[in-house]
Structure 1
Amino acid sequence: MTDQTEPDVHTLTGPYVLDALPDDERARFEAHLAECAFCTTEVAELRTAAVKLATQVSTPPPPALKARVMSAIEDVRQLPPVVAGQPPTAVRRRIGRRSVFALAAAAAAVALSGGIAIDQYRDRTAAERANQQVAAVLAQPDARTVHGTIQGGGQATVVVSAQADKSVVVLRDLPELPADRTWQLWMIDSGQTAHSVGLATGDLTQVITGSTAGMTAFGLTIEPTGGSRTPTLPAAAMIQLA
C-alpha cells in the first residue's frame, strides 16, 4: 500500500492513536504503518502527547465538553484545502497534526473527567456507607457516649453498644506525630488486657465491630509505625467505658 494509491492514509494517525478507526480502516492503516517511517514517528509523538495531556490536566472539564466535541467532529474536514505554493501532502500533514492534537487534548480531558467522576462516586459511596454504620450504632438502645482528653491536645469520644458489639471512636485535633510514629487504638477488657483495634495518623471517625462487649476502657497510645503488640505506656488517653 503506497502514498500514490492511498493519498489520504497519512491523515489517519490521530484517529488511530485515539482508537477511533473502524476495523477495516485500522487494518488498512496498520498495513501502511509498517512501510511508512513518517507515520510511525507521528504515531509515537501523538501517543506521547496524549499521555502528557492526560497527566497534566488538573481540573475537570465542564460537563458539556464531550457533547461539544462529538458535535464538532461532524464539521471537521478530513482533508484541508490545497494552499498555493505548498505541496499538498505537506499542507495536509501540518494542518492535520494541529487538528489531531486538539482532538487528542479533548479526548484526554474527557477520559480524565470520567476517571474523576468514578473516583468521586466511590468516595461518596464509602462516606455514605460509613455514615450509615455510625448511625446504626448511635441508634442502639444501649448506646452510651463517653468523652476524654488526649495528652498533648485533642479530644476522644467513644460511643459503645454492647448489644450490637460495636463502638464508634471519634478522634479530633490530634497532635502531629513524627513520621516514624502512629496512634494506636485499644480496647481494654476487665482483666486489663489491651486489644488493638486500629491505627490512626490523624483525626479519625471509625466504627469498631467486635472487641466491644465486656470492654471496660478505651486507650490511645503512640507507637512505632505499623503499631505494637502491646501498648506503650503511659497512654495518651485512657477513657473508662464501664
Structure 2
Amino acid sequence: PRSRPLLVPFATATAAAALVVASLFAVQADKTQDQLDAQRARASEIANVLAAPDARAAAGEDAQGRTIGVIASASAGRAVVTLSGYGELSSGRVHQLWLMRPDEQPRSLGLFDGDTPLVASGLDKSATSLAVTVEPDGGSPQPTSQPVVQLALKSVGFGE
C-alpha cells in the first residue's frame, strides 16, 4: 500500500483556513461598504440642505449652556439639526427630535446618534418649533417627557 504524504492533510487544512479568513474579510468589507454608503448618503442630504437658496440657520441655548442648532430650507422642507453638550444618555435612552405644529400632535423626525447631525425631512410651513425629548431606546410614537430643549423655527422660514 502507498503511503500518503504528510503534506496533503496540512495543505487541505491550510486551504480551508484561508477560505474562512477570506470569507471573514469579504463580510467585513461588505459591512464597511454599507457604512460608507450610509455616510455618503447622509453627507449628500446635508449638502442639499446647505446648498438650498433659502437655507437659514438658527440656534438656541439652555440654562446649562447646551445648544441646539438648525440649518433649514423651507422650500425643501428639510433641516439639519445638531445637539451639543447633552452628552451620552444612560443605557436604554435616546434623544428624539419632534416637529411641533399648532393644534397637532408632535411628529417624530428621528433619533439622534450621539453628536451626529440629524437630517429631518417633511417639514411644512406650519411647523413652529423643533423639540428634543429623552425617550426609551428605539424612540416613542409620542413624547413621554418634557422637551430638554425646544427651538422656534420662525427665523428660518417656518411657522408663517
The 5 Å alignment of 1:110-149 reads 110-149=22-61
**Preserved contact between residue 153 and residue 175 of structure 1 (Cα < 8 Å):** no
Q: Which has the higher contact order (CA 8 A, sep 6+)?
A: 2
CA contact (8 A) 1:172 1:204 kept: no
**TM-score of the two chains, using structure 1 as the length reference:** 0.55
Shift of 1:222: 1.1
2:40, 2:137 → 1: CA distance?
29
Query: Residue 97 and residue 126 in structure 1: after superposition, are their counterparts in 2 closer, same or farther (change >3 A)?
Result: same
Distance in 2 (CA, whole Å) between partners of 1:150 and 1:110 is: 52
Pairing of 1:171-210 with structure 2 (within 5 A)? 171-191=83-103, 193-210=105-122
What SS does structure 2 have at the residue aligned with 1:163?
coil
CA displacement at 1:108 relative to structure 2:
2.2
Of Structure 1 and Structure 2, the greater helix share is in 1
Cα offset for 1:237?
Answer: 0.7
Gaps of 5+ in 2: 155-160
Cα distance in structure 2, aligned partners of 1:151 and 1:100:
67
Matched AA of 2:3: P
User: Is the partner of 2:128 in helix, strand or coil?
Assistant: strand
Q: Tell me, yes or no, if structure 1 residue 213 matches structure 2 residue 130.
A: no
Q: What's the CA shift string for 1:64-109, capped at 9, x where partnerless?
A: xxxxxxxxxxxxxxxxxxxxxxx713xx2x4321222222222222
Query: Residue 160 of structure 1: CA displacement?
Result: 1.3
Change in CA separation of 1:113 and 1:185 when aligned onto 2, cut-off 3 Å: same
Structure 1 segments of 4+ aligned residues over 6 angstroms from their partners: none
Where does the alignment leave 5 or more consecutive residues of structure 1 unmatched?
5-86
- The structure that has the greater radius of gyration is 1
RMSD: 2.5
Aligned to 1:228: 140
The TM-score with structure 2 as length reference comes to: 0.79
Report SS of the residue matched to 2:117. Answer: strand
Read off the aligned partner of 2:32 and give its amino acid letter.
Q
Aligned length: 154
- Report if the CA contact (8 A) 1:186-1:219 is conserved: yes
Quote the residue 2:3 is aligned against. Answer: 88
Q: Deviations over 1:144-197 (max 9, x none)?
A: 111223676743221111111111122344322222322111111144742221
Percent identity, please.
30
The answer for the alignment partner of 2:158 in structure 1 is none
Contact 2:60–2:151 (Cα < 8 Å) also in 1: yes
